Structure 1
């Protein structure tokens, strides 16, 4: 029996990742029917079914799970080796542009340094991306990867290491009644308009940064919407509302006119590295490894 062709393996791995024939096809710029054809060819070579497909769901068979577990790391290693050799043949490492939201915190900068040390022929550039458009720069190809606030629910993006899970604080004017408290519960947010995020950020992401209701179902008043963190803090100082921030950001932007009050009862804030599913390179994977190593995040 002949060995599988590379395109069959690519189609299987894309389908294993997406569990959807249409999305697997989009990822490889192939039609859904072509993905099905490649899968059938691979199953014929192997001699068993790799995928169960119904009208509602796609899932790997036990044989498919076994193939995926062994094939994925080997395939990634091959792709990375080829990318590295191709870059060496060109004699240049290129430029790797990394976006970040808010502040370039210590773990992020240590990862950038580690990446530069491991890729001396690659120029790593860091770029601030707007609070109001967390994913746009990646989707438009303006940066190769970006560190953004969670959550991330875009099928075009790969979610890399998730790190820096920290409690939330409420930034309020030092004139606000909550400023004198040692802490508040999430239900207390019903008594403070929350400054939200405007612009191109998806609604689910904006609601995660400024929820409309408390965990108990009480309405949280909507405050002004801003496009940058600095603009939000200016409105906080003007007593136009409160703003939810993770405590490292609160420490970084500490101000005599702003109080940062710990909030209990809300999920922690986390950062994540994301990149475009169709634009992954060896440099992308190299930076993801550097970030995971520095932060201890799962790869």
Structure 2
């Protein structure tokens, strides 16, 4: 890096995308001749040509292609480091958009309240994440982070704090044979059609929400699923708070003993980790710990 100017590297990256000196100059707000000067200076430092330029076209040399492939992610990472440092220097301000699946339960609302008190200069906004697209809003930049059902195995996403471990229930029509049961076991569900999410939810995630080999409808939203349940078309697994929130007279929610608990987790994009996201993750972790402590304190009395 001795003697290399950031402006020269940025010029090369833009030129590699545009393959046109005039358009590269427009993007960089400099003249075409200045683009040529910056490229020439970089090539002199490296000791070889990076770009071939003729009267008809501009293209990268083989060395230029390799240099671009290695430089581009390194430059993006460097820009991210600078931006994160700027955010840390400014503190937590602006706004943070949090998506949620199912129900914005007490722990999430407690985290939002604690976050707002601690960071009054940052407004927390919440938006519902579609049941059938748990990760899309984060990937598309519609939210800064999302509270989603596990599992999460997305290489481009970071899984942060986990919380809200809840027993699973199965939603069935009031006419279903399970409606009169006080509880069920996983064996009871083996031959039961369970409503799943439709794509773009990944296959592993859909299977976790509907662990039954029996064919059943796939839906985009929870309301679609509950409507099919009410029509006695199939059953649907839901965590207890979501079941309680979406309670309706034509649907019964029966606890299932022996299934792994439903667990929520906070996720964000690897390229979108900001001081605001980290601060909210801390607030969520603390809110979860406080709620669990309160639950533990009430347990003996409940017993």
Q: Settle same-fold status: TM greater than 0.5.
A: yes
In structure 1, C-alpha distance between the alignment counterparts of 2:83 and 2:164, rounded to whole Å: 30
Instruction: Give the distance between the partners of 1:210 and 1:174, measured in 2 at CA.
Output: 20
Shift of 1:154: 0.7
Q: Is the 8 A contact 1:196 1:222 kept in 2?
A: no
Match of residue 148 from structure 1: 148
CA–CA separation in structure 1 for the residues paired with 2:74 and 2:164? 37
Deviation digits for residues 42-85 of structure 1 (CA, Å, limit 9, x no counterpart) = xxxxxxxxxxxxxxxxxxxxxxxxxxxxxxxxxx9x99775232
**Count of residue pairs the alignment pairs up:** 218
Matches within 5 A, 1:141-220: 141-212=141-212, 220=213
Who is 2:241 aligned against? Answer: 248
User: In 1, Cα distance between the equivalents of 2:235 and 2:162?
Assistant: 26
Q: Does the CA-based 8 Å contact 1:159-1:272 persist in structure 2?
A: yes
Q: CA deviation at 1:136?
A: 0.7
Equivalent residue, structure 2, for 1:107: 107
* Contact 2:138/2:145 (<8 A) preserved: yes
Matches within 5 A, 1:85-96: 85-86=89-90, 93-96=93-96
Give the deviation of 1:222 after TM superposition. Answer: 2.0
Q: 2:287 & 2:225 partners in 1: Cα distance?
A: 30
Aligned-pair distance for 1:125?
A: 0.8
8 Å CA contact retained: 2:103, 2:241:
no
Which residue of 70, 74, 79 corresponds with 1:30? 74
Is contact 2:132–2:201 with CA below 8 Å preserved after alignment? Answer: yes
Determine the C-alpha separation between the residues in 2 that align with 1:196 and 1:248.
19
Partner Cα distance (1:119, 1:187) in 2: 48
Task: Judge conservation of contact 2:173–2:250 (CA < 8 Å) in 1.
Answer: yes
3-state SS in 2 of match to 1:256: coil
Aligned match of 1:265: 258
Answer yes or no: is the 8 Å Cα contact 1:116–1:124 preserved in 2. Answer: yes
Shift of residue 184, structure 1, vs aligned partner: 1.2
In the superposition, the TM-score normalised over structure 2's length comes to 0.67
**Matches of 2:102 and 2:184 in 1, distance apart?**
24
Query: What residue number does 2:300 align with?
Result: none
Q: Calculate the aligned-residue CA RMSD, in Å.
A: 2.6
User: Take 2:85 and 2:119, find their aligned partners in 1: how far apart are those partners?
Assistant: 14
8 A contact 1:132–1:227 mirrored in 2: yes
Shift of 1:119: 1.2
Structure 2: stretches of 5+ with no match in the other structure: 1-68, 293-303
State the match for 2:120 in structure 1. 120
In structure 1, what is the equivalent of residue 59 of structure 2?
none
User: Which of 253, 278, 281 lines up with 1:285 in the alignment?
Assistant: 278
Q: 2:244, 2:223 → 1: CA distance?
A: 14
| Alignment partners' CA distance in 2, 1:86 and 1:180 | 58
User: How far 1:145 moved relative to its partner?
Assistant: 0.4
Is this contact kept in 1: 2:164–2:263, CA < 8 A? yes
TM-score, with length taken from structure 1: 0.68
